[in-house]
């Protein structure tokens, strides 16, 4: 069989049978670096040795291999089918966005993690599946974490379902321990990789030079070292295009871009060896890639890697309701993955465009998408599953604040009700199985049962999916240009938009058009999909407002943004593209749809939601009840009701005042230290440490502060309210006593004097005292059952700092002799013994200490 032949040269061969056997009785975790054969040899082994897993796999049920990247899924499917001497779609098939090759014969199906979510939602028992393999789990995409969480729930219904989690970098033991802590039987394996030696060299930019200026010289050095080819890791397409231009005149190379949105034909070209004639002519491959090339796929003809050390990471800002791509340093794990690409075919080289000292400061692993991205699609899928996020098992739990922001966003789009259940419209949106905004457009367009709405929805959905960063200021102008260019465009982004447009037209049973639908149709669709992107010009109407505010808008998300490219002011905008600049408080609008006043009056009459609110009046802070109409956090109009506010409204008003104080609320030293103490020992107290972070306390303010806030009599009292008593009351008496025992606020020194313990926000503790007061203490004391050693700031007899240490034994052994030599001459009246660890502690001079000892001795007699 093929797998026996291939397995001979794959390190994973040593554990194939053991993994197959373990799958019958436990969730299996496999840690294996690139080149081990985990993505190719192992799935085929399970396919061809179905008898080890039971008759189900050998018979009709499938093995599902979940891949986080589309190009990897396609490449693996084609590669495995070729090894079996078959076409894709026979025993080995695939399912990715816009493409599916599968038949009744398919037993091994490679899918992207988004497609797996659709599979398990459609069939929660995975009734046709025997085994699910999560490959490259270390990439921690949203759908990978969600897919595993849902699969673990399915396994509760189907104990025979076999789950295999494979990772190149995440430690298998950590995953196994987590699974066992949550009631799963688990077994872990570690496989070696197949890699030749790699010489790593650091090439940091010289002074006054950034990393991009150091890039071209490094590539030229790499070309001198390379016998086959060079792989350059870059953050994104902009940097790829720039370097490709700079390399255009370099001799005897063929430059190949490689990124996720590249057409599949061009991606497959990168994954093929160079033609023999080019090898014979001495031509070398130069691949310019994003982090798509880190894992899953093997790029032939590479023996040198140039690593910029940067990647483009999506980060969601709930405050703006937007995802921003930011250039960040990679993790140590990613750096190791990238370097490994130079040693897949022979000994290689890796040139890193940063310093060796910076390497030590890189984060061990990249942040999971759960911590950095918009969780709206995740929450929608969980609601469709019939569950709540906190009820699922997460390897790292989603942040509460991000989940709450996602719920609010979905409720504002009327996809979730107030109980966080899917609305009828939410079910339609989730059923489209695509980008949340695109799916909302499609569902709304279909709901109107009008051809102009369906056609505009298809075009807008395609545009949202494929043209992520278009900066043409006027959305309508851009859309009309796309339709006009439909027959002759050679721009790859435009081609993708138009291909997707035709796809959605077929799904909506409408015909592609060359003219854009009516502007009000586009506006209604976009407002249905992006209600929090509605923006209102601040300060008034038309040109006078424009002059006063310089294009400053307030968004329904509650935040301000500037529209610098707008030529004429519009009272209302629907913002389709905006960005944040670090260090600035406001966003910049790059693209928008201007909304007419008559249209907005009709739309607001239907969609602005009334609610009772409050208004503070006068110096004394009198509270008035008002009726307000809102779209998100954008106030449309307000009127006084003349009624006295009820207690619940009064409490909301007071809490809102307190929340506005934000970080200042917890800024005093006593509160800071109390929170620092509790976070260190939260697990000892049966508490969750993250719950005591200030941002989470603010998010949960109503829960812990309401009983105290209701007692406040005025606005002034709310602005002066101190939260520490309320926070302390969240602990039982026993917990408070335990906190004092584990993390004391004072420490009794051997000298007999008591000293304050100052706790820092990083969890450390500081005690400042005279050095002589810790004589006779050979080792540092310990707090929190040995978890924390306080740092001593050792002072001179005059109270000046001499040394800081949290390891007294080391200080006595190494540093004290130098301190003693310098200080005994400066302070001769104070003791400076040669063996301080055995001496008697004191805060007195030698004379005063002797007199004290003499008095004590006389007292005893």
Residue 408 has pLDDT above 90, yes or no: no
Considering Cα of 365, then 371, then 374, then 379, what sign does the dihedral take?
A: positive
pLDDT bucket at 543, cuts 50 / 70 / 90: very low
pLDDT digits (tens, 9 = 90+) for 515-539: 998 999 999 999 999 988 999 998 7
Q: Are 126 and 120 in contact (CB under 8 A)?
A: yes
pLDDT-wise least confident of 85-94, 116-125, 380-389, 409-418: 409-418
Whole-number pLDDT of residue 559: 84
Collapsed DSSP state (helix, strand, coil) of residue 219: helix
Mean predicted confidence (pLDDT) in 587-615:
89
Of the candidates 307, 363, 365, the one whose C-alpha atom is nearest the C-alpha of residue 339 is: 307
Tens of pLDDT, residues 325-363: 788 899 999 999 899 889 887 899 999 999 988 888 888
7 pLDDT exceeds 60? no
> In the chain, where are the structural domains located?
2-190, 198-370, 374-508, 530-607, 662-741, 744-859
Q: How many CB atoms lie within 10 A of CB 850?
A: 12
Q: Is the pLDDT of residue 804 over 60?
A: yes
Q: What is the pLDDT of residues 817-850, one digit of tens each?
A: 999 999 999 999 999 999 999 999 999 988 888 8
The answer to whether residue 28 scores a pLDDT higher than 50 is yes
Q: Are the C-beta atoms of 103 and 171 separated by less than 8 Å?
A: no
Global pTM? 0.72
Contact 414, 609 (CB under 8 A): no
Query: In CATH terms, is domain 2-190 a member of 3.40.50.300?
Result: yes
Kindly report the number of other CB atoms within 10 A of residue 594's CB atom.
18
Average the pLDDT over 364-379 and give the result: 90
pLDDT at residue 56 tops 70: no
For residue 323 the two structure tokens come to 């995802």
Strand pairing class (162-167; 27-31) = parallel
* Residue 120 CB coordination number (10 Å): 22
For residue 731, name the pLDDT band (cuts at 50, 70, 90): very high
DSSP assignment of 353-368 equals: SS-HHHHHHS-SSPPP
Residue 601 burial (CB < 10 Å; 0-12/13-18/19+)? exposed
Mean pLDDT of 758-770: 90
Question: Percentage of residues in the chain with pLDDT exceeding 90?
Answer: 54
pLDDT at 567: 53
What is the distance of C-alpha 643 from the center of its chain?
46
Name the most confidently modeled range: 380-389, 578-587, 696-705: 380-389
Q: Kindly state the average pLDDT of the residues 759-777.
A: 92
The Cβ of residue 26 has, within 10 Å, a number of other Cβ atoms equal to 18
Three-state secondary-structure class, residue 142: helix
What pLDDT sits at residue 199?
95
403 in Cβ contact with 435 (< 8 Å)? no
**What is the rounded distance in angstroms from the CA atom of residue 241 to the CA atom of residue 445?**
37
617-672 pLDDT, tens digit per residue, is 766 667 788 888 888 889 888 887 777 777 888 888 888 888 888 878 998 899 99
Task: Reduce the DSSP state of residue 556 to 3 states and report it.
Answer: coil
The residue behind tokens 């994104």 is: 236
Q: In this predicted model, which residue has the larger pLDDT, 610 or 581?
A: 610
* Least confidently predicted of 10-24, 472-486, 544-558: 544-558
**Higher per-residue pLDDT: 36 or 797:** 797
Query: In the prediction, which pLDDT does 723 show?
Result: 93
Residue 495: per-residue pLDDT? 86
pLDDT at 548: 46
Q: How many CB atoms lie within 10 A of CB 789?
A: 18
Percent above pLDDT 70 for the chain = 93
Q: Name all contacts of 603-607 with Cβ < 8 Å and 24+ positions apart.
A: 603/523, 603/524, 603/527, 604/629, 604/631, 604/636, 607/527, 607/531, 607/631
Check: CB of residue 708 under 8 Å from CB of residue 726.
yes
> Distances in Å between the alpha carbon of 738 and those of 176, 440, 764?
32, 52, 18
Confidence check: pLDDT of 86 > 80: yes
Q: Do domains 2-190 and 198-370 have the same CATH topology?
A: yes
SS3 sequence of 699-710: HCHHHHHHHHHC
Fold exhibited by the domain 198-370: Rossmann fold (3.40.50)
pLDDT at 582 over 60: no
């Amino acid at each position: 069989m093929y797998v026996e032949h291939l397995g001979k040269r794959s390190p994973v061969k040593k554990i194939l049978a053991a993994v197959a056997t373990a799958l019958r009785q436990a969730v299996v975790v496999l840690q294996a670096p690139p080149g081990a054969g985990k993505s190719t040899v192992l799935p085929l082994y399970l396919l061809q040795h179905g008898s080890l897993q039971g008759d189900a796999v050998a018979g009709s049920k499938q093995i599902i291999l979940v891949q986080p990247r589309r190009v990897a899924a396609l490449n693996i499917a084609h590669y495995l089918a070729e090894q079996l001497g078959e076409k894709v779609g026979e025993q080995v098939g695939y399912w990715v966005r816009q493409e599916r090759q599968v038949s009744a014969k398919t037993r091994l199906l490679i899918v992207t993690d988004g497609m797996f979510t659709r599979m398990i939602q459609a069939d929660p028992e995975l009734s046709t599946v025997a085994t699910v393999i999560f490959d490259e789990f270390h990439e921690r995409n949203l759908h990978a974490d969600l897919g595993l969480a849902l699969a673990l729930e399915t396994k509760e219904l189907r104990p025979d379902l076999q789950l295999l989690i494979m990772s190149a970098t995440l430690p298998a033991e950590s995953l196994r321990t987590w699974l066992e802590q949550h009631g799963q039987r688990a077994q872990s394996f570690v496989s070696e990789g197949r890699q030749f030696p790699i010489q790593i060299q650091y090439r940091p930019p010289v002074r006054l030079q950034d990393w991009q200026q150091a890039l071209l010289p490094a590539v030229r050095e790499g070309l001198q070292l390379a016998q086959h080819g060079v792989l350059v890791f870059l953050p994104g397409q902009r940097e790829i295009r720039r370097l490709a231009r700079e390399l255009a005149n370099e001799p005897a190379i063929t430059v190949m871009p490689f990124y996720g949105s590249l057409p599949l034909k061009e991606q497959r070209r990168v994954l093929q060896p160079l033609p023999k004639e080019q090898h014979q002519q001495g031509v070398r491959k130069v691949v310019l890639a994003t982090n798509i090339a880190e894992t899953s796929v093997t790029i032939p003809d590479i023996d040198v890697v140039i690593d910029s050390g940067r990647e483009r990471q999506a980060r969601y800002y709930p405050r703006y309701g937007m995802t921003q791509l930011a250039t960040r340093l990679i993790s140590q794990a990613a750096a190791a993955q990238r370097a490994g690409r130079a040693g897949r075919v022979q000994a290689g080289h890796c040139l890193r465009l940063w310093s060796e000292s910076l390497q030590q400061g890189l984060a061990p692993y990249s942040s999971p998408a759960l911590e950095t991205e918009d969780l709206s699609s995740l929450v929608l899928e969980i609601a469709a599953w019939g569950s709540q996020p906190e009820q699922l098992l997460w390897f790292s739990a989603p942040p509460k604040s991000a989940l709450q922001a996602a719920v609010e966003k979905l409720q504002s789009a009327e996809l979730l009700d107030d109980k966080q259940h899917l609305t009828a419209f939410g079910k339609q949106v989730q059923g489209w199985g695509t980008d949340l905004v695109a799916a909302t457009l499609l569902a709304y367009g279909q709901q109107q049962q009008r051809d102009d709405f369906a056609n505009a929805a298809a075009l807008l959905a395609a545009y949202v999916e494929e043209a992520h960063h278009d900066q043409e200021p006027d959305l309508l102008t851009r859309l009309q240009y796309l339709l006009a260019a439909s027959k002759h465009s050679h721009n790859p982004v435009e081609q993708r938009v138009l291909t997707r447009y035709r796809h959605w037209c077929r799904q909506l049973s409408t015909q592609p058009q060359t003219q854009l639908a009516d502007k009000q149709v586009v506006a209604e669709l976009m407002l249905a999909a992006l209600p929090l992107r509605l923006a209102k010009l601040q300060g008034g109407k038309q040109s006078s407002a424009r002059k006063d505010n310089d294009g400053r808008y307030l968004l329904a998300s509650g935040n301000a943004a500037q529209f610098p490219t707008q030529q004429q002011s519009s009272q209302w905008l629907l913002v389709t593209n905006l960005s944040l600049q670090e260090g600035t408080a406001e966003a910049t609008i790059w693209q928008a749809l201007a909304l007419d006043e008559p249209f907005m009056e009709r739309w607001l009459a239907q969609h602005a939601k009334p609610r009772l609110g409050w208004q503070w009046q006068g110096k004394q802070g009198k509270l008035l009840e008002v009726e307000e109409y809102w779209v998100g956090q954008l106030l449309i109009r307000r009127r006084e009701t003349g009624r006295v506010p009820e207690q619940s409204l009064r409490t909301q008003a007071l809490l809102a005042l307190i929340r506005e104080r934000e970080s200042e609320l917890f800024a005093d030293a006593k509160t800071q230290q109390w929170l620092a103490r509790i976070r260190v020992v939260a697990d000892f107290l049966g508490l969750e440490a993250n719950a005591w972070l200030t941002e989470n306390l603010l998010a949960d303010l109503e829960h812990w502060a309401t009983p105290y806030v209701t007692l406040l009599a005025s606005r002034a009292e709310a602005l002066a309210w101190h939260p520490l008593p309320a926070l302390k009351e969240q602990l039982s008496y026993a917990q408070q006593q335990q906190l004092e025992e584990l993390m004391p606020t004072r420490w009794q020194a051997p000298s007999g004097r008591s000293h304050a313990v100052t706790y820092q926000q990083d969890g450390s503790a500081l005690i400042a005292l005279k050095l002589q007061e810790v004589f006779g203490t050979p080792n540092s004391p310990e707090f929190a059952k040995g978890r924390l050693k306080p740092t001593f700031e050792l002072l001179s007899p005059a109270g000046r700092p001499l040394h800081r240490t949290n390891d007294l034994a080391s200080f006595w052994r190494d540093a004290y002799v130098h301190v003693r030599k310098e200080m005994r001459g400066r302070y001769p009246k104070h003791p400076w013994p040669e063996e301080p660890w055995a001496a008697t502690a004191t805060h007195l001079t030698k004379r005063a200490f002797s007199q004290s000892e003499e008095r004590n001795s006389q007292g005893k007699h």
